[in-house]
Structure 1
Amino acid sequence: MTSLVPRPPYTDEELRKLYPEGLELQLVQILMRHGERTPVSARFQNAGLKPWWPYCASARQMRSVVLAASNATTGNHAFDTLEWKRRLETFGDDDGPVLARGPNAERDDICDMGSLTDLGRQSTYNLGLRLRKHYVDRLAFLPPTISSADFLYLRSTPVPRALESLQQTFSALYPPSAREPGPDGKFPTPTILTRVPGDETLYPNDGNCRRFAALSRAFAQRAADRWNNTPDMEYLQKIYGKWMPPGSKVAVDSRPRLSGIMDTVNATLAHGPETRLPDEFYDEKARAIMEKIGVDEWFAGYKESREYRMLGIGGLMADIVGRMVGTVEQQPRPGGGRIRFGLSGCHDTTLAGVLASLGAYNTDRWPPFTSHIAIELFRESKAASAPPSEPAKGNWWASILGSPPAPASIGRRPMTELTAAEREKLNGYYVRIRYNDEPVTVPACKLPGNHLAGDESFCTLAAFKSVVDKFTPKNWKEQCRMNRDQPALPTGEPEWAGY
């Protein structure tokens, strides 16, 4: 699967089962893969595939912030917008510069490598429409109109396609017609959080975590050793071999790597006939084999190694649990509020890494473009004496961080270190995960006492936090520099995820 085919909207009966009486939705956190994109590098030009794709109409409508000319000499910080059109330049046959051109000699709308395409913008916009239909229209969890975005947690990785996908989804969740102007006649500018690459935990950061990079290489090599000399790889060689560079065979660690072949196949399959490969590239059996091997290469580490989970996705999961616990600890307060809905623009490796680390990625299929995970926090109706707070109109930083943490705050502290009174605070709260609108279940949550009676997909917050505690880093940057002389693969039994 390459482009996500959304399931039909829930029926009223399905909605009643998914959101049973007696449970109140408190917090929703969405992790979304970006939409359809171009390949991250040019491959298979020998098969007729052009390197430059004309699917980025946004390149005609670029906008940048510039200091207003009238204020450039005074030092006053007033800004203007520069509108411009981007064209890409590349090497010509004689190494001189030429304009990049599409399959039909297009010079405009040319996408960079790995760019979100027009189709990707549409699919992520459609995701926003579905989220609005679900959480605004049907559940009435979010308000239909807003005067501030302070109750939203908006975050993206620094990769442009992730940020642009987040923006597209937000623009459909709350279109201009649903944004009320403030006293100045304008809707307050929403804040989108980003991090510098060295601090990024919204994707598995092997570029800035040396130990995780070593673990990734080890599991990739294990996959190569496991799959390169198998009938499955022989089949892939039969399909793709003649298009490989001279002297090179299809392999997990070939050039291009098997995952690179899959990347180009998936990207071309999602788009138009001008950027299609020969029909044999889309052989269904071959694509299923590539995805199966790719899932093993990229995501088995999360299932089998606690250190892999901790360094690859543990920081993100600890943040997610911390916001849930913060929702439990924070009471509605005058002039303030709390996060009610989170939306994060990220990647396929984020989604699969999260699910695999929870023992809930039970598939050989790669996450399609515009896939998403919804992590929902519920409370039993009797669990609180005060009604849930309305979307905040107070200070933005207060809505993100809450009040200064009290000494007894239990955010990232392991369940094993909490007092009985602190553990009591989590009673009556449940976590449910939906991947592409289908509930998934964490193995530990199936145990007696760890789930809502009659539905194992509703995990108690205490049990869910206990699972995440086991791979929460204490100091991610420091731990990224540790254990460099230790084996990268588990030496004993696998340290299975989800418990």
Structure 2
Amino acid sequence: MGARALYSVAALAAVLAAAAKASPEGSSSFGTGVSAYAFDDAAYSYCDAGYPVSQGYSAVPDAKLELVQVVVRHGDRTPVNLIPDDTTTWNCNGIEENIYLHGTDQPEKNSTGSFKQVIEIPTWNKKYGFSNQVWRGTCDVGELTDRGKAQHRLLGSQLRGVYVDKLGFLPSQLNGTDDIYVRTTHIWRTKNSAESLLGALWPERSISPEAAIPIHTYPEQIETMYGNTGACPKLTAIAAQITNSDQFQDFLRSQGPLMAKLIGILDVSGSSWRNSWDGYVDVVQTRECHGLPLPCSDRASAGTSTTPKCVTVEDAAQVRRNAHYEYTFKFRDHPLSQNYTRLAIGSLIGTLRDQIQDHIAGKTGSMKLALYSGHDSTVAPLLAALQASNRNMLWPPYASNLVFELWKKTDGSRLVRVIYNGQVLKLQPEFEWCDLNACPLDKYYKHLEKYIPTEIATQCASN
């Protein structure tokens, strides 16, 4: 167990409060009102992440790049949380996939013509359908938007500028698929994000079937790119302990009036809306990123007038701050966070480590790039496991990109560099275990070890 987990709750709060005064970036001060949080979010945008830029990029001196692992959040999407009687219109007319199928006994080329999926949202008249349970337009729930596609095309072009044009590390043309490994979750927006990114990384790639890039996915029941509570019941138990802690309950109470206001406006209910800010981020930020009106309601709360109430821009900003705090507290700073993060994302961390080890052992062939397309719940726990600074623990924006580079020095030693949204990842000053501009591989391994489960099925069993 790492030294952090040995702190008592009171001792941890005292350490973090002291660090807030000592560090220019600040650190969260738990058990206080949200106004006392020291997150540096002045330049933060949930709607767009930063990107690697070739002009400001420099290679590690006296070293050769050997492997690049990229973990990304999908791009801009429609909401996943529905609110009653939503009148918003979402259009996804540009998100049409041409599908080609062939039997196993048929040639690997289209022989049946192409098909495309079209999302149809009828205007319900309650005669043959349900009352309005979803918005208007042509978008499915949680679907990647045109904006989301563009974000990953931009990311792909920026990665090309660094790793193809500047370093010559990746080939200019992808003539085969041995140089790349791609994995996404089973959810379509992560697949579409990867497709958009790769389409810009290699914009003139052949469309022949033999040039198709395999996109690997796990069945939902065994997914490891986010906290899989179905496969790991222990996660639910730990999350409940964290949520029920004095610090988190103090936090919820301090923000109780805002939460009550939002519950009234959105007309939502259930424990997930009372114990977490996740749903509010989803409802509010998806609309803000598209310049759509924030939700309003003319329903009267007890003891109030019938004047319509709306979510304000100030409310939305506070929702973001609350969400930053929640993610940081749950994944990084609660005494149970290390175990929570281990069970949530440790299998992926182990996969990334093993991939490096296999590369060094010559078991990965000519593979140079591994792309993992996931969610905010993929990126945030990884940042927490690395002990990222508060500035880097802000809720991961759309198309957030976490890049792990493996370099081999001329003396034979190896280094890892970690870049998040275009900048070398900065760590908490009080827990700075390595310089992630050039971290010795053995030191990198040692830090990751405590976040990699040994027997995940056994450790995930609820007791």
> For this structure pair, what is the TM-score category when the shorter chain's length is used for normalisation?
0.7 to 0.9
1:163-213 C-alpha deviation (Å, 9 max, x unpaired): 1101111111112x2x368xxx76522211111122211122122211122
- Aligned pair in 2 of structure 1 residues 257, 244: CA closer, same or farther (>3 Å)? farther
Identify the match of residue 3 of structure 1 among 44, 47, 52: 47
CA contact (8 A) 2:71 2:403 kept: yes
Structure 2 stretches lacking a partner, 5+ long: 1-44, 297-309
Shifted more, 138-147 versus 32-41: the winner is 138-147
Matched, 1:53 2:82: no
CA contact (8 A) 1:27 1:340 kept: yes
Q: Hey, what does 1:63 align to over in structure 2? A: 98
Structure 1 stretches lacking a partner, 5+ long: 384-427, 486-499
Q: Which residue identity does 1:111 align to in structure 2?
A: C
Identify the match of residue 61 of structure 2 among 14, 21, 28: 21
Identical positions, percent: 23
In structure 2, how many angstroms separate the alpha carbons of the residues matched to 1:101 and 1:443? 43
CA contact (8 A) 1:431 1:460 kept: yes
Matched, 1:190 2:190: no
Q: Which has the larger radius of gyration?
A: 1
In structure 2, how many angstroms separate the alpha carbons of the residues matched to 1:466 and 1:311? 18
Q: Secondary structure at the match of 1:243?
A: helix
Identify the match of residue 74 of structure 2 among 34, 48, 63: 34
In structure 1, how many angstroms separate the alpha carbons of the residues matched to 2:234 and 2:115? 43
Q: Hey, what does 1:438 align to over in structure 2? A: 423
| Paired residues for 1:219-298 under 5 Å | 219-222=242-245, 225-230=249-254, 232-235=255-258, 237=260, 240=262, 242-245=264-267, 253-254=272-273, 258-273=277-292, 276-277=294-295, 280-283=311-314, 285-296=317-328, 298=330
Q: CA shift at 1:91, angstroms?
A: 8.1
Q: Which residue identity does 1:316 align to in structure 2?
A: L
| Paired residues for 1:368-447 under 5 Å | 368-383=397-412, 428-441=413-426
In structure 1, how many angstroms separate the alpha carbons of the residues matched to 2:80 and 2:380? 19
Q: Hey, what does 1:210 align to over in structure 2? A: 233
CA contact (8 A) 1:52 1:101 kept: no
Q: CA shift at 1:272, angstroms?
A: 4.2
- Aligned pair in 2 of structure 1 residues 62, 99: CA closer, same or farther (>3 Å)? farther
Q: Secondary structure at the match of 2:416?
A: strand
Q: Which residue identity does 1:439 align to in structure 2?
A: V
In structure 2, how many angstroms separate the alpha carbons of the residues matched to 1:168 and 1:365? 25
In structure 2, how many angstroms separate the alpha carbons of the residues matched to 1:30 and 1:456? 15
In structure 2, how many angstroms separate the alpha carbons of the residues matched to 1:15 and 1:92? 53
In structure 2, how many angstroms separate the alpha carbons of the residues matched to 1:93 and 1:469? 57
Q: Secondary structure at the match of 2:144?
A: coil
In structure 2, how many angstroms separate the alpha carbons of the residues matched to 1:180 and 1:203? 33
Identify the match of residue 437 of structure 2 among 450, 453, 457: 457
Q: Which residue identity does 2:327 align to in structure 1?
A: V
In structure 2, how many angstroms separate the alpha carbons of the residues matched to 1:379 and 1:272? 46
Q: Hey, what does 2:41 align to over in structure 1? A: none
CA contact (8 A) 1:157 1:200 kept: yes
1:428-452 C-alpha deviation (Å, 9 max, x unpaired): 11111111011114579988xx86x
In structure 1, how many angstroms separate the alpha carbons of the residues matched to 2:216 and 2:169? 23
Q: Hey, what does 2:28 align to over in structure 1? A: none
- Aligned pair in 2 of structure 1 residues 76, 169: CA closer, same or farther (>3 Å)? closer
CA contact (8 A) 1:3 1:368 kept: yes
Identify the match of residue 166 of structure 2 among 138, 147, 162: 138
CA contact (8 A) 2:144 2:189 kept: yes
Q: CA shift at 1:127, angstroms?
A: 0.9
In structure 1, how many angstroms separate the alpha carbons of the residues matched to 2:376 and 2:448? 20
Q: Hey, what does 2:338 align to over in structure 1? A: 306
In structure 1, how many angstroms separate the alpha carbons of the residues matched to 2:102 and 2:354? 39
Q: Secondary structure at the match of 1:190?
A: coil
Q: Hey, what does 1:468 align to over in structure 2? A: 448
Aligned residues: CA RMSD = 3.4
- Aligned pair in 2 of structure 1 residues 99, 280: CA closer, same or farther (>3 Å)? closer
Q: CA shift at 1:217, angstroms?
A: 2.9
CA contact (8 A) 2:252 2:275 kept: no
CA contact (8 A) 2:51 2:401 kept: no
Q: CA shift at 1:289, angstroms?
A: 2.9
- TM-score normalised by L of structure 1: 0.71
In structure 2, how many angstroms separate the alpha carbons of the residues matched to 1:99 and 1:77? 46
Q: Which residue identity does 2:312 align to in structure 1?
A: F
Q: CA shift at 1:81, angstroms?
A: 3.8
- Aligned pair in 2 of structure 1 residues 324, 92: CA closer, same or farther (>3 Å)? same
Q: Secondary structure at the match of 2:171?
A: coil
Q: Secondary structure at the match of 1:30?
A: strand
Q: How many residues align?
A: 401
CA contact (8 A) 1:155 1:192 kept: yes
1:249-299 C-alpha deviation (Å, 9 max, x unpaired): xx98536953211111111111144x6546743226424433234324653
Q: Hey, what does 2:188 align to over in structure 1? A: 160
In structure 1, how many angstroms separate the alpha carbons of the residues matched to 2:430 and 2:360? 20
Q: Hey, what does 2:370 align to over in structure 1? A: 342
CA contact (8 A) 1:157 1:195 kept: yes
In structure 1, how many angstroms separate the alpha carbons of the residues matched to 2:431 and 2:437? 8
